[in-house]
Structure 1
């Protein structure tokens, strides 16, 4: 797959596009802007970072995302 939507707890937070060296993340949810433009070698690395950030946002009380990450 060359591109897909990235969701955290059933909320679209960005898209991932296949590029040389992995997948580049582009945010659609401003809370995930910190990851914008980063290239992740594997999809599971991207999922881990998105989930980690979603959990941090939840703990900080700024998000409903619980850290579950899906791709479409």
Structure 2
């Protein structure tokens, strides 16, 4: 039986993926990755790739200070 896995992008915990029939469901842990919330991926690696691509499209986060 597979268990939940943490998806980390750099030093950021983007979320977790939880196994379910048909793949792995993503639950975001960081606001930058809410767009992936609830999506089902074939594997944790596919979820990590999607999170990396999302981060790349958004670019570096700007400080509000």
Q: TM-score range by the shorter chain?
A: 0.7 to 0.9
Scaled by the length of structure 1, the TM-score of the pair is 0.74
CA displacement, residues 14-51 of structure 1 (integer Å, 9 cap, x when unaligned): 11100111100000101110000000012222121011
- Backbone CA RMSD of aligned residues: 1.4
Q: Which has the higher contact order (CA 8 A, sep 6+)?
A: 1
Query: How far off is 1:13 after superposition?
Result: 1.2
Please say which structure displays the higher CA radius of gyration.
2
Query: Residue 61 of structure 2 corresponds to which residue in structure 1?
Result: 62
Residue segments in structure 1 that go unaligned for 5+ positions in a row: 64-72
Return structure 1 stretches of 4+ with deviation > 6 angstroms.
none
Distance, in Å, in 1 between the alignment partners of 2:8 and 2:61 is 17
Alignment: residue pair count = 61
Equivalent positions of 1:1-72 (< 5 A) are: 1-58=2-59, 61-62=60-61
State the SS of the aligned residue for 2:7. strand
